A and B are shown apart, each in its own frame.
Chain A
């Protein structure tokens, strides 16, 4: 996995987006601009879009991991994820589960 992260710019950025978000949360935003999660996220997204246009994409398994990590980042950064569940708590009759 480490070697794949090092060899794929998109995957590296996606992993850094989550990693830097975590580091910033742990250290109360005491990190500088080099630890900007959104910057890494944007770069990762841009790389993913390029990879998806590549006709040889099937040979590049890191695309899958990049897409997955970017999804995890969305979950991490959006408090609305928790809001979604809270809404269901308030309106359980809509849940049908």
Chain B
């Protein structure tokens, strides 16, 4: 009845994205449509990052929708994570562009290749700068009013911040083309990568203790941390986290279970 290939969820999320595109941004201007868009955004970004696929969120009309939402929405409802998600959309597009260039490599002239390598690196550096600026903004946002505040959404944001930092570096550090030409890229060092992995794992552990975030939201961070885990301890931690998420089932179902009781 359900898909036993293990990829049924991606088919559903692809399908949901297709339906959303069919509805168009105009369906998300307000009300439950807008709520849906803001809910599904991170899942669509995650899908694009996981499979290095294009996301419709990078299209102008959807970016205009985000601008419209934050122009018209109560500023108190704004959270820095939305700005980070915007950067993640751009990172996803750059990953696709990088992959496309690698695939077309044999057919590119030297000049074209050099230009494209430089252009991708430049865009990567801009994104890295945006990421670091985001970190500063997010930390100052936490301290607004002289008190330090944190919430589960902020914990999630910093998990994704570290994940995106690794993903951005991953566009460049798996291939020698940039280093060969001495082109500056947003590659981070091995020790920085390990710091990011450690931060991702410790924040996910904290998030699981708080029990307010759905396990599915850790899908991409755990995948990225797993790919870059270099110690037995890190791999053991990831396995333990996955087991914990699996054991608990699905945290977001709490609300749905409550709805079931009410109806």
**A residues whose Cβ falls under 8 Å from a Cβ of B:** 1-2, 4-6, 12, 15-16, 18-23, 25-26, 38, 41-42, 52, 57-58, 61, 63-65, 67-86, 88-89, 92, 95-97
Contact = CB atoms under 8 A, between A and B. Distances in A.
29 contacts: A1-B259, A2-B262, A5-B263, A21-B249, A22-B249, A23-B257, A38-B1, A41-B2, A61-B36, A64-B20, A64-B23, A67-B12, A68-B13, A68-B16, A69-B256, A71-B12, A71-B43, A72-B252, A75-B216, A78-B2, A80-B4, A81-B219, A82-B245, A86-B226, A88-B223, A92-B227, A92-B228, A92-B229, A95-B226
Contacts, number: 154
Nearest to B242: A82
Given A1-B32, A58-B22, A68-B39, A78 B8 contact: yes
Interface string B112-127: 0000000000000000
Contacts of B254: 22
Contacts of B8: 74, 78
B contact residues, range: 35 or more
Interface of B: 1-6, 8-9, 12-13, 15-16, 19-20, 22-23, 27, 31-33, 35-36, 39-40, 43, 52, 166-167, 170, 174, 216, 219, 222-224, 226-229, 235, 238-239, 242, 245-246, 249-250, 252-254, 256-257, 259-260, 262-263
Chain B contact surface mostly: helix
CB-CB nearest 3 A-B residue pairs: A71-B12, A80-B6, A22-B253
Contacts of A74: 2-3, 8-9, 12
A64 B39 CA distance: 11
B249 A61 contact: no
A81 B4 CA distance: 11
Contacts of B6: 78, 80-81, 83-84
